[in-house]
Amino acid sequence: MGKIAFVFSGQGDQFPGMGKELFQTYPAASRVFEMCDAIRPGTSAQCFLGTAEELKETKNTQPCLFAMEAAAAAVLIEKGICPDVMAGFSLGEVTASAVSGLFDLPTGFSLVCKRGELMQREAEKRDTSMAAVVKLGAEQVEDLCEKHQEIYPVNYNCPGQIAVSGLASRMEDFAADVKAAGGRALPLRVKGAFHSPFMKDAAAAFAQELQQVKMTETGEGKILLYSDMTAEPYSGDARQLLSEQICHPVLWEKLVRRMIADGVDTFIEIGPGHTLTNMIEKTDGTVKAVTYTEYLAEEKPC
């Protein structure tokens, strides 16, 4: 029997009302939302009642997604659905770190609040954006980025899909070159050039925040955790992995392939959408990839 992985999504899938049904249906979820409200008052209300534009603000997106995803994970675990390994996409890696036992949930939530503030602060310094490039290979996208100053390949999502970050003023010309090469550049619902050199100051400031946090030793967490930056299981300095991830590419396709090679055959996406599920299916169609709501409906405890 293969291993089960919990994978936590990042920014982009958020929507008004996310998590409300979890809160109303499962006591395990409501306890998580209440914990988040105690640290950051109004988080639940923002998830359930906030506008799409409000939830798009990074300082709001990250705490709200953490709350919703940690609540969903709590429900799955209470029902006896037992992950062998975990990973998270960008912001989701912080949620995965907390759920895996690297640090506790209140600490993880406080960190995510600070992370969102720091990344938004950097994003507001210059007009930047992100786009998903589809229908082109990684080397093609990298070559195109080389031709456009301050446009960077940042998220290696799955075959034929790489996200780029850069100056908004240069995205139009970059998109035109992508089209000429046979691909498409699709704007992402985020405000900032995440996982690029534009985020170096945010990464440095977050590293300082992490120095104040008590962590379990790498490898001693309850559940094995994989790193976005290395696509390998955590080893060495966990604080460095979590901070430098902010200004380095997310190697998601490579990470998924490594997890499969390590025996994972079932991926449960924990988040408000199905972006990671789609990426995993495109990476390897032989494994099972489902959202947490689909898996809950199956009612198959370990």
- Show Cβ contacts of residue 125 under 8 Å, excluding neighbours closer than 6 positions: none
Q: In what helix (H) or strand (E) does residue 288 lie, and over which residues does it extend?
A: strand 288-291
Q: Nearest CA to 86 among 291, 257, 270, 217? A: 270
Which residue out of 9, 44, 97, 195 is catalytically annotated?
195
C-alpha–C-alpha distance, residues 42 and 14, integer Å: 17
Count Cβ atoms below 10 Å from residue 209 Cβ, excluding itself: 16
Which residue out of 90, 129, 196, 243 is catalytically annotated?
90
- Residue 172 in tokens: 């139009």
Is 248 an active-site residue? no
The DSSP bridge partners found for residue 267 are 5, 289
Pairing mode of beta strands 3-8, 85-88: parallel
Cα separation values, 127 from 124, 130, 158, 165, 202, Å: 7, 11, 27, 11, 16
C-alpha–C-alpha distance, residues 291 and 179, integer Å: 32
Is 90 an active-site residue? yes
Instruction: Tell me the catalytic residues.
Output: 90, 195
